[in-house]
């Protein structure tokens, strides 16, 4: 593997969600440990699953992977990090301030901004902690999906600039209050990220145009903050042994076309190709085999694999009955939420309904997926930059209207805080929730970690409104609308693979704890539902059956969408996904 030749101390694996970043990062950590190196594998993904990959419980403390000499792992858990961060701020004044004031401070530290700051704080420590640098030869980062990675890697620079400028008024004082003493740590983290002798960026993608475009954008955005160069890994290529049946030939043709059209800025980077395996990438044996071109870890059944007929069109039939409502497509990055959301929106619009299709995903490609327009269908994207500009203008025009020049200058500085973007995006999301009372609003959400941060912002807003309104006052918050099963239908989109199903199970539990009951599950891109014939694809299909059975154990409603020979791009192909009997 080119990307593992003479590796520096820090290796970052990033790319679009669902491309196999975690598998490649875990396999790389094993390979380095096998060479006799001391390795710490770290996940900075709010939806981390490296513990599931190794079959051990890891969490927010360094844990030895006993089966691999020299390998340890750590998952930066956002909630645990936020709890510890809050305690560091509140502990020194506990007993000195009244309980009411302590509760107010805790409330100010309950939002998603605090969660992100706390995770960032732990992340930068890993880059600068002398004891860790003496203990480990390499620290391998399995980063969050691209949108989160950009945010995380930009934070050291933005917070350093923010603190050096002496900004930060009371509205962001809570989350920032634990940062001031760490300016030198952030500056050192920036230096480490920008030094190719210490840091290597590995861009992981599938042979798909959207995934390759995503790592091209990632490469360009990281270059702007001084992280240059990098290596490309194309994961999950269909091997020659997969056969020549129509579905295999179509996939292979799509992959070749995507590689031929790889963006020029990343085409010149060193590149490795990894073949698709029949089995799931869980367990040490599977991970050891990932880099072996001639190995496989599955079996090859010779009989057809049957799965239930569960067409997506049945979902649309039932969703249509209310005449309006909020439809949220959630799940792990890379499972096809954008496609499913677009297919449902197109089908509802073609049935004569007014439909607003929108996304909260920084890495979404709704326009590319639709590839056209349709009467009755309005498409938008909650763009963070645009939302921030709108939010800042709104605050300056309202809160800043009656301030003097010094007051307006101070307010403008406060609005430059990196905390602002979560608030701004949440404000846009709330508008979409409100619109669903009169029309269909279909939301293609961000990957799971972003979704949970968004819901956390929704919950924080709900608690604040409830506190301000007091007992006996009537009010409706966005969280209350999400909890209203008559208005909101949450669809969990997954693949028939171990990790996506596990993540969807965990997401369902998180939603239920927030009082939100998922309405249905969608199993997307099912090889088994495509009824393959070649031994390789039959082996992949056989591995799906257990996962599909697990989905039926968790859900009252299930739709199964087959892997298609032609990508579902364009209004006509999206319509076909919800046609009667398609499943």
pLDDT of residue 25: 94
3-state helix, strand, coil in the chain (%, to 5): 50, 15, 35
135 is catalytic: no
Euclidean distance between CA atoms 381 and 366, whole angstroms: 8
pLDDT tens digits along 554-568 = 998 999 999 887 778
Give yes or no: 21 in active site. Answer: yes
Active site residue 23: yes
| Cβ-based burial of 425 (10 A; exposed 0-12, middle 13-18, buried ≥19) | buried
Average pLDDT, stretch 392-406?
85
User: Are the CB atoms for 243 and 537 separated by under 8 Å?
Assistant: yes
Among 22, 213, 445, 458, the one annotated catalytic? 22
Domain 2-289 top-level CATH class: alpha beta
Lowest mean pLDDT among 27-31, 82-86, 256-260, 336-340: 82-86
Q: How many other CB atoms are there within 10 angstroms of residue 258's CB atom? A: 19
pLDDT of 212-228, one tens digit each?
A: 988 998 888 888 777 88
More confident residue, 554 or 144: 554
Hey, what are 513's tokens?
């704890």
Mean of the pLDDT values across residues 198-209?
A: 92
The greatest distance separating any two alpha carbons of the chain, rounded to the nearest whole angstrom, comes to 78
277 is catalytic: no
Residue among 14, 15, 17, 23 flagged as catalytic: 23
What does the pLDDT average to over 397-407?
Answer: 85
Catalytic status, residue 572 = no
CA 493 – CA 447 distance, rounded (Å): 11
CATH architecture of 312-389+420-577: 3-Layer(aba) Sandwich (3.40)
- CATH fold match for the domains 2-289 and 312-389+420-577: yes
Whole-angstrom Cα distance, residue 16 to residue 206?
9
For the segment 99-118, the average pLDDT, to the nearest whole number, is 69
Which is catalytic among the residues 499, 526, 575, 578? 499
Indicate which residue of 14, 15, 17, 20 is catalytic.
20
Q: Of residues 15, 18, 108, 333, which has the active-site annotation?
A: 18
Domain regions of the chain by residue span: 2-289, 312-389+420-577
Q: Which pLDDT belongs to residue 558?
A: 97
**14, 16, 21, 48: which is the annotated catalytic residue?**
21
pLDDT in tens, 349-383: 999 999 999 887 655 566 777 766 788 998 888 77
């Amino acid at each position: 593997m080119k990307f593992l030749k003479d590796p520096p101390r820090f290796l970052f694996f990033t790319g679009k969600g669902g491309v196999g970043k975690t598998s490649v990062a875990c396999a790389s950590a094993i390979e380095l440990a096998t060479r006799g190196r001391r390795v710490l594998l770290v996940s900075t993904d709010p939806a981390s699953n490296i513990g599931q990959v190794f079959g051990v419980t890891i969490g927010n403390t360094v844990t030895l992977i006993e089966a691999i000499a020299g390998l340890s792992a750590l998952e930066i858990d956002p909630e645990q990090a936020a709890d510890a961060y809050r305690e560091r701020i509140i502990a020194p004044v506990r007993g000195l301030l009244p309980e009411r004031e302590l509760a107010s401070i805790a409330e100010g530290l309950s939002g998603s901004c605090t969660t992100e700051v706390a995770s960032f704080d732990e992340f930068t420590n890993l880059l600068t902690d002398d004891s860790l640098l003496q203990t480990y030869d390499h620290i391998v980062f399995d980063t969050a999906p691209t949108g989160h990675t950009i945010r995380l890697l930009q934070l050291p620079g933005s917070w350093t600039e923010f603190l050096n400028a002496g900004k930060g008024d009371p509205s962001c004082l809570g989350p920032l209050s634990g940062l001031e003493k760490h300016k030198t740590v952030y500056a050192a983290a920036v230096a480490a990220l920008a030094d190719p002798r210490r840091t290597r960026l590995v861009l992981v993608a599938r042979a798909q145009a959207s995934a390759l475009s995503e790592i091209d954008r990632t490469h360009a955005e990281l270059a702007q903050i001084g992280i240059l160069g990098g290596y490309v890994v194309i994961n999950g290529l269909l091997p020659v042994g997969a056969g020549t049946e129509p579905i295999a030939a179509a996939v292979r043709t799509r992959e070749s076309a995507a590689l031929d059209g790889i963006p020029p800025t990343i085409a010149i980077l060193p590149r490795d190709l990894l073949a698709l395996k029949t089995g799931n990438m869980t367990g040490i044996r599977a991970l050891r085999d990932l880099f072996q071109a001639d190995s496989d870890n599955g079996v090859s059944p010779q009989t057809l694999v049957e799965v239930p007929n569960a067409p997506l069109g049945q979902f649309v039939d039932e969703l249509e009955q209310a005449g309006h409502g909020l439809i949220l497509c959630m799940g792990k990055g890379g499972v096809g939420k954008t496609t499913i959301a677009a297919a449902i929106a197109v089908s509802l619009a073609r049935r004569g309904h007014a439909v607003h299709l929108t996304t909260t995903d920084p890495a979404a490609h709704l326009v590319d997926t639709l590839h056209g327009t349709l009467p009755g269908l309005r498409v938008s994207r909650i763009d963070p930059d645009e939302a921030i500009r709108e939010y800042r203008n709104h605050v300056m025009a309202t809160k800043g209207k009656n301030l003097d020049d010094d007051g307006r200058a101070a307010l403008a500085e406060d609005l430059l805080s990196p905390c602002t973007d979560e608030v701004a995006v949440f404000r846009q999301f709330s508008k979409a929730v409100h619109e669903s009372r009169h029309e269909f609003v279909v939301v293609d959400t961000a990957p799971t970690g972003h979704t949970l941060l968004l819901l956390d912002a929704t919950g924080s807003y709900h608690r604040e409104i409830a506190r301000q309104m007091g007992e006996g006052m009537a009010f409706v918050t966005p969280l209350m609308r999400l909890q209203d099963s008559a208005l909101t239908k949450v669809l969990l989109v997954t693949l028939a693979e171990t990790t996506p199903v596990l993540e969807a199970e965990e997401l369902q539990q998180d939603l239920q704890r927030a009082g939100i009951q998922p309405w249905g599950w969608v199993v997307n891109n099912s090889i088994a539902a495509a009824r393959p014939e070649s031994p390789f694809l039959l082996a992949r299909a056989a591995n799906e059956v257990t996962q599909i059975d697990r989905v039926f154990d968790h859900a009252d409603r299930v739709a199964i969408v087959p892997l298609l020979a032609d990508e579902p791009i364009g209004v006509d192909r999206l319509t076909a996904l919800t046609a009667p009997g398609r499943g």
